[in-house]
Chains A and B, each alone.
Chain A
Amino acid sequence: MISYIVRRLLILPIILIGVTLLVFSMIMMLGPYERLSTYIKDPAELKNVDVDVLVTKLGLNDPWYEQYGRWISGVARGDMGWSESAGSTVTQAFLSRFPATAELGLLALLPVVVGGVILGVFASVHHNDFWDHVSRVLAIIGWSVPTFVFGLIMLMIFYGTLGWFPPSRLDSWALDIVNSAGFINYTNFFIIDGLLNANFAIVGNAIRHLVAPVITISILWWAFIMRITRSSMLEILRRDYIRTARAKGVKENVVVYKHAVRNALIPVVTVAGRMVLGLLGGLVITETIFNIKGLGQFMAQAAQQLDYPAVLGGTLYFGFLLILINLCVDVSYAIIDPRIRLE
């Protein structure tokens, strides 16, 4: 198990270097003057300076590998330049926006994985043509509705008409409390902070604001995970070792939940990995529509305002994040399947 994780970790630097190269080659598609902004830490530096001198000084006309070397050593120190659209360094901008995104992402991800698997197992055990067709059609339709269309309709109905689930992270009264001196921001996850401060009004308000974005970002994956679990279960239930378990006198629900589910989870983990990829993209749209000040909204705004340092830095951060998540996926494979753990 440990050697498996170590081996995975050893591949990480290769992928990471590759990602930085890819991002850097995108930077190099810009001209030297546009690239200048990625090297400026503070707009004050640009005052009373000849831009051409600065380009030469920063070596923006040097061969690409020299530039890459300088850039990567800056990135390694966490220096990704100044973000015009955030009015701070890229790193600061990302750190301050991370909790909102993590809160939304985790709340979207965990219920889907757990709930989708449970529903899928249920559907496979009681498999019945009617619900099969319903879940299938829902999955296909869900796959066809663009997230931004779904999100806008959610807003129209549940905020505009019914007033139940407002956008942004908190109502303004709640925001005042959170920003007041008496409220300690332990994590900046408002649900957790609310609980830690024993302020349940904050918890309730934060949840109310999260319902619509969480549904928007995760709805299609419910159907998807459920269908994968179901078909995987149906296949596993036909395997020889299931018959062996029954021949031992094992109870049917033990056959299903002990012998079948664990094996059926292996393809589900693969899909869950793909789902995380999709969720990261979905964050950009969902945060934009529901006005949640997280990484995704930041990326979208930075792109619209041609804030290159933020966009490139953001890509790298998302790349790191994705690699970490893939590592989690790999570790879950190893936990579930001894053949991978011991290979």
Chain B
Amino acid sequence: MSKEKLIDVNDLATYFHTEEGTVKAVDGVSFEIYPGETLGIVGESGCGKSVTSLSIMRLIESPPGKIENGEILFNGKDLTKLNQKQMRKIRGNDISMIFQEPMTSLNPVYTVGDQIMEAILIHKDVSKKEARQEAIDMLTKVGIPLPEQRVDEYPHQLSGGMRQRVMIAMSLSCDPQLLIADEPTTALDVTIQAQILELMNSLKRQFGMAIMMITHDLGVIAEVSDRVAVMYAGKVVEYADVKDLYGDPKHPYTWGLMYSIPHIEKDLERLEAIPGNVPNPLNFPEGCKFNTRCQFATDKCRVDEPELEEVEEGHYSACWHVDKLEEQKAKQGRG
């Protein structure tokens, strides 16, 4: 891959300084996204995946949140060094975002048209009338029937799936290079989920943007991603091509997620895939943060924290005992 990186996150650390102590929500995360590809970020709730995306948008509430370390290079520009005014030119324009809860992510007192037009009017030099036409066009593109009528409706008049389509229309209205989708389908019915994912895939081809897909749902990742980063307790623990990751997981956490499930549509939030709980972010264990739940954990794991290392070409894992995992996989005769 010799292409120019669209976004290059290096050693990002975002902490929250609360009364009870410092929460290291994101602690040394690195990844990159190339133009036009989809990177999936997967992990249980509280693993820092949403904080990573909000850090890229620089929407971390401060205080208590603060980007402590690292750089976020977007087209070579470090976003952590920009002021809010420069950041606003990027938000909604070069990088846009859709959220988990379509029911609450739209402002209830403005029409959907107003809310889409707002983004267009901020970033493009067009008249109100043109912006309205663009908003209607966008609604058509995201598959909303009767867009001329819908544009003047309020969010509460639309279903959850329709609202998520509106969110997508809004986020794509300024032709972003990167779309961050934070659990875009979690709150939706299964059939609607599939429709939205399909829509995102087709819009990606049409608009040619890159997508950073954040989810706890391995099935969603399999469906849309090119590459995947698995996060656990504020760190990336495995990072690989989607096929390699699913075919041959190299981290006990990823393996545990997949091994324990009959279908990859398994929902991590609701069913416990791995024994034990996600450690308390105020009190992470020493060494490898997964050691409290890992069947391969040794004393080394409880003292030293493993770094992300390339175990196969393009396949990274942060584990001292990849070999033990391989033995186990061989024993069980499945990958």
A touches B (Cβ under 8 A):
yes
Please give the residue numbers on chain A whose beta carbons come within 8 Å of chain B beta carbons, in ascending order. Answer: 239-241, 243-252, 259, 262-263, 336-339, 342
In whole angstroms, how far apart are the Cα atoms of A251 and B107 in the complex? Answer: 16
In whole angstroms, how far apart are the Cα atoms of A263 and B104 in the complex? Answer: 13
Q: B72-80, B82-90, B133-141, B219-227: which one contacts chain A?
A: B82-90
- Interchain nearest-CB distance for A100 vs B (Å): 38
**Residue in chain A with minimal CB distance to B89:** A249
> Are A336 and B109 closer than 8 Å at their CB atoms?
yes
- Which of chain A's residues have a CB closer than 8 A to the CB of B91? 246-249
In whole angstroms, how far apart are the Cα atoms of A84 and B86 in the complex? Answer: 74
> Are B118 and A248 closer than 8 Å at their CB atoms?
yes
Specify the main secondary structure of chain A where it touches its partner. Answer: helix
- Which of chain B's residues have a CB closer than 8 A to the CB of A263? 107-109
In whole angstroms, how far apart are the Cα atoms of A250 and B57 in the complex? Answer: 13
User: Within 8 Å of chain A (Cβ to Cβ): is B59?
Assistant: yes
- Interchain nearest-CB distance for B270 vs A (Å): 21
**Residue in chain A with minimal CB distance to B173:** A248
| Contacts A241-B107, A263-B107 given; does A247 touch B156 at CB 8 Å | no
In whole angstroms, how far apart are the Cα atoms of A250 and B121 in the complex? Answer: 10
**Residue in chain B with minimal CB distance to A336:** B109
**Residue in chain B with minimal CB distance to A239:** B104
| Contacts A250-B118, A250-B122, A339-B154 given; does A245 touch B107 at CB 8 Å | yes
In whole angstroms, how far apart are the Cα atoms of A280 and B93 in the complex? Answer: 52
In whole angstroms, how far apart are the Cα atoms of A262 and B114 in the complex? Answer: 15
- Which of chain A's residues have a CB closer than 8 A to the CB of B90? 249
Query: B95-122 interface mask toward A, CB cutoff 8 Å, 1 = contact, 0 = none?
Result: 0110101001111111100000011001
> Are A244 and B106 closer than 8 Å at their CB atoms?
yes
Most A CB within 10 A of own CB, among B101, B110, B157: B110
Most A CB within 10 A of own CB, among B59, B108, B157: B108
| Contacts A249-B89, A249-B90, A249-B123 given; does A244 touch B105 at CB 8 Å | yes
20 contacts between A and B (CB under 8 A): A239-B104, A240-B99, A240-B105, A243-B99, A243-B105, A244-B97, A244-B99, A244-B105, A246-B59, A247-B59, A248-B122, A248-B170, A249-B89, A249-B91, A249-B92, A249-B122, A250-B92, A250-B118, A339-B156, A342-B156
Query: B148-172 interface mask toward A, CB cutoff 8 Å, 1 = contact, 0 = none?
Result: 0000001011000000000100110
Can you add 8 more A-B contacts, CB < 8 Å, to A244-B97, A247-B96?
Answer: A241-B105, A241-B108, A244-B99, A244-B106, A249-B92, A249-B93, A337-B109, A338-B108
In whole angstroms, how far apart are the Cα atoms of A244 and B111 in the complex? Answer: 14
- Which of chain B's residues have a CB closer than 8 A to the CB of A250? 88, 92, 118, 122
> Are A248 and B96 closer than 8 Å at their CB atoms?
yes
> Are A241 and B157 closer than 8 Å at their CB atoms?
no
> Are B57 and A247 closer than 8 Å at their CB atoms?
yes
> Are B106 and A241 closer than 8 Å at their CB atoms?
yes
In whole angstroms, how far apart are the Cα atoms of A18 and B88 in the complex? Answer: 57
| Contacts A247-B91, A249-B119 given; does A259 touch B107 at CB 8 Å | yes
- Interchain nearest-CB distance for A310 vs B (Å): 45
**Residue in chain B with minimal CB distance to A338:** B154
**Residue in chain A with minimal CB distance to B119:** A248
**Residue in chain A with minimal CB distance to B57:** A247
Please give the residue numbers on chain B whose beta carbons come within 8 Å of chain A beta carbons, in ascending order. Answer: 57, 59, 84, 88-93, 96-97, 99, 101, 104-111, 118-119, 122-123, 154, 156-157, 167, 170-171
Neighbour of A252 across the interface among B84, B104, B105, B167, CB < 8 A: B84
In whole angstroms, how far apart are the Cα atoms of A243 and B88 in the complex? Answer: 13
- Which of chain B's residues have a CB closer than 8 A to the CB of A246? 59, 91
- Which of chain B's residues have a CB closer than 8 A to the CB of A259? 107, 110
- Which of chain B's residues have a CB closer than 8 A to the CB of A241? 104-108
In whole angstroms, how far apart are the Cα atoms of A246 and B171 in the complex? Answer: 12
- Interchain nearest-CB distance for A177 vs B (Å): 49
In whole angstroms, how far apart are the Cα atoms of A252 and B90 in the complex? Answer: 15
**Residue in chain A with minimal CB distance to B104:** A240
In whole angstroms, how far apart are the Cα atoms of A240 and B108 in the complex? Answer: 11
> Are B154 and A342 closer than 8 Å at their CB atoms?
yes
- Interchain nearest-CB distance for B105 vs A (Å): 4
- Which of chain A's residues have a CB closer than 8 A to the CB of B59? 243, 246-247
- Which of chain B's residues have a CB closer than 8 A to the CB of A252? 84
- Which of chain A's residues have a CB closer than 8 A to the CB of B118? 245, 248, 250
Neighbour of A337 across the interface among B57, B97, B108, B111, CB < 8 A: B108
- Interchain nearest-CB distance for A254 vs B (Å): 9
- Interchain nearest-CB distance for B315 vs A (Å): 33
- Interchain nearest-CB distance for B62 vs A (Å): 12
In whole angstroms, how far apart are the Cα atoms of A342 and B96 in the complex? Answer: 31
- Which of chain B's residues have a CB closer than 8 A to the CB of A251? 88
**Residue in chain B with minimal CB distance to A237:** B61
- Which of chain A's residues have a CB closer than 8 A to the CB of B111? 338
In whole angstroms, how far apart are the Cα atoms of A248 and B94 in the complex? Answer: 10
> Are A240 and B101 closer than 8 Å at their CB atoms?
yes
In whole angstroms, how far apart are the Cα atoms of A37 and B57 in the complex? Answer: 76
- Interchain nearest-CB distance for A315 vs B (Å): 38
> Are A338 and B93 closer than 8 Å at their CB atoms?
no
- Which of chain A's residues have a CB closer than 8 A to the CB of B84? 252
In whole angstroms, how far apart are the Cα atoms of A342 and B111 in the complex? Answer: 12
- Which of chain B's residues have a CB closer than 8 A to the CB of A338? 108-109, 111, 154, 156
- Which of chain A's residues have a CB closer than 8 A to the CB of B122? 248-250
**Residue in chain A with minimal CB distance to B154:** A338
**Residue in chain B with minimal CB distance to A236:** B107
In whole angstroms, how far apart are the Cα atoms of A259 and B109 in the complex? Answer: 8
In whole angstroms, how far apart are the Cα atoms of A262 and B156 in the complex? Answer: 16
- Which of chain B's residues have a CB closer than 8 A to the CB of A342? 154, 156-157
- Interchain nearest-CB distance for B49 vs A (Å): 16
**Residue in chain B with minimal CB distance to A335:** B109
| Contacts A240-B99, A252-B84, A342-B154 given; does A247 touch B92 at CB 8 Å | yes
In whole angstroms, how far apart are the Cα atoms of A252 and B61 in the complex? Answer: 13
In whole angstroms, how far apart are the Cα atoms of A122 and B98 in the complex? Answer: 29
- Which of chain A's residues have a CB closer than 8 A to the CB of B99? 240, 243-244, 247
In whole angstroms, how far apart are the Cα atoms of A246 and B156 in the complex? Answer: 21
